[in-house]
């Protein structure tokens, strides 16, 4: 498939057209952003690690019956994916309290959440991704009521699969963010799953092995991503 013009450049990935309108190319860059894009740095190897990490997770989820946009790895930093209409909301599931939940509600960082908490956020950097609920999504037409149900169902299915995958590798899946889109009428998982969009702690030491290392200036960011990849068996 031929790579055509750039369609969109996000904070960490760019999207390119192909000669087939059903497919686009996701290009993972080394750019690493935090605080709604206020801080951006290049971290060497990040594009390649996240591209391969994401491919591994998307294929794992597809085998578990979760529809995703992922088609195949094209090279170190690029993947071919289905060309979806993205739904502009982020779906977050939290198994353990951390991050914005702790800041918002004053609960203890590290508290186990049973049952897990689901939250929707509007994708809008200028508004700092405000939290929204089903009513906002339907009334403002960001997604249909059916799509909302499907996004929640798929996000929890992902939780069951990935909690176990990471637990078996001695890791706690603290929380994560997913994005969905519509492809030929179906809601399917899009964007990426990598340590940029989730929190992963070592089960024994509770060491952070995700983007919080970047947000909090802890260093060793890519080394931590590679450690997680090695533990779950991502071929890097």
Q: Which residues are near ligand C5P by CB under 6 A?
A: 90, 92, 99-101, 129, 175-177, 197-199, 211
CA distance 1 to 107: 50
In what order do the strands lie in the sheet containing 70-73?
A: 3-9, 13-18, 23-28, 78-82, 70-73
Q: How many helices (H) and strands (E) does the chain have?
A: 6, 13
Please, what is the minimum distance in Å from the beta carbon of residue 87 to ligand C5P?
14
Please, what is the minimum distance in Å from the beta carbon of residue 188 to ligand C5P?
18
Q: Where are the alpha helices (DSSP H) in the chain?
A: 46-63, 99-105, 134-139, 145-167, 212-215, 221-232
CA distance 186 to 85: 10
Of 9 and 145, CB closest to ligand C5P: 9
Of 183 and 193, CB closest to ligand C5P: 193
Of 129 and 227, CB closest to ligand C5P: 129
Q: Can you say whether the dihedral through the CA atoms of 227, 52, 188, 4 is positive or negative? A: positive
Of 129 and 202, CB closest to ligand C5P: 129
Of 69 and 177, CB closest to ligand C5P: 177
64 contact partners, CB below 8 Å, separation of at least 6: 157, 161
Please, what is the minimum distance in Å from the beta carbon of residue 177 to ligand C5P?
3
Nearest to 92 by CA among 64, 70, 123: 123
Which residue sits closest to ligand C5P, CB atoms considered? Answer: 99
Please, what is the minimum distance in Å from the beta carbon of residue 146 to ligand C5P?
24
Please, what is the minimum distance in Å from the beta carbon of residue 74 to ligand C5P?
23
Please, what is the minimum distance in Å from the beta carbon of residue 5 to ligand C5P?
26
CB atoms near residue 225 (< 10 Å): 26
Bridge partners (DSSP) of residue 181 are: 86, 188
Of 35 and 140, CB closest to ligand C5P: 35
């Amino acid at each position: 498939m031929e790579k055509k013009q750039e369609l969109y450049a996000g904070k960490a990935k760019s999207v390119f057209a192909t000669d087939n309108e059903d497919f686009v190319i996701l290009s993972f860059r080394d750019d690493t952003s935090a605080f709604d894009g206020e801080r951006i740095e290049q971290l060497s190897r990040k594009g390649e690690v996240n591209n391969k990490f994401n491919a591994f997770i998307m294929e794992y989820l597809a085998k578990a019956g979760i529809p995703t946009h992922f088609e195949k790895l094209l090279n170190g930093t690029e993947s071919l994916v289905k060309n979806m209409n993205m739904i502009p909301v982020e779906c977050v599931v939290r198994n353990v309290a951390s991050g914005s939940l702790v800041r918002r509600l004053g609960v203890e960082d590290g508290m186990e959440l049973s049952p897990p908490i689901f939250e929707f956020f509007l994708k809008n950097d200028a508004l700092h991704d405000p939290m929204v609920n089903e009513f906002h999504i339907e009334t403002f037409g960001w997604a249909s009521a059916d799509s909302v149900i499907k996004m929640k169902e798929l996000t929890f299915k992902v939780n069951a699969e990935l909690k176990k995958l990471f637990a078996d590798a001695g890791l706690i899946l603290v929380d994560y963010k997913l994005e969905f889109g519509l492809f030929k009428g179906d809601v399917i998982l899009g964007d990426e799953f990598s340590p940029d969009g989730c929190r992963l702690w070592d089960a024994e030491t509770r060491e952070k092995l995700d983007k919080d290392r970047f947000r909090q200036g802890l260093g060793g960011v890519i080394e931590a991503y590679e450690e997680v990849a090695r533990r779950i068996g991502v071929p890097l």
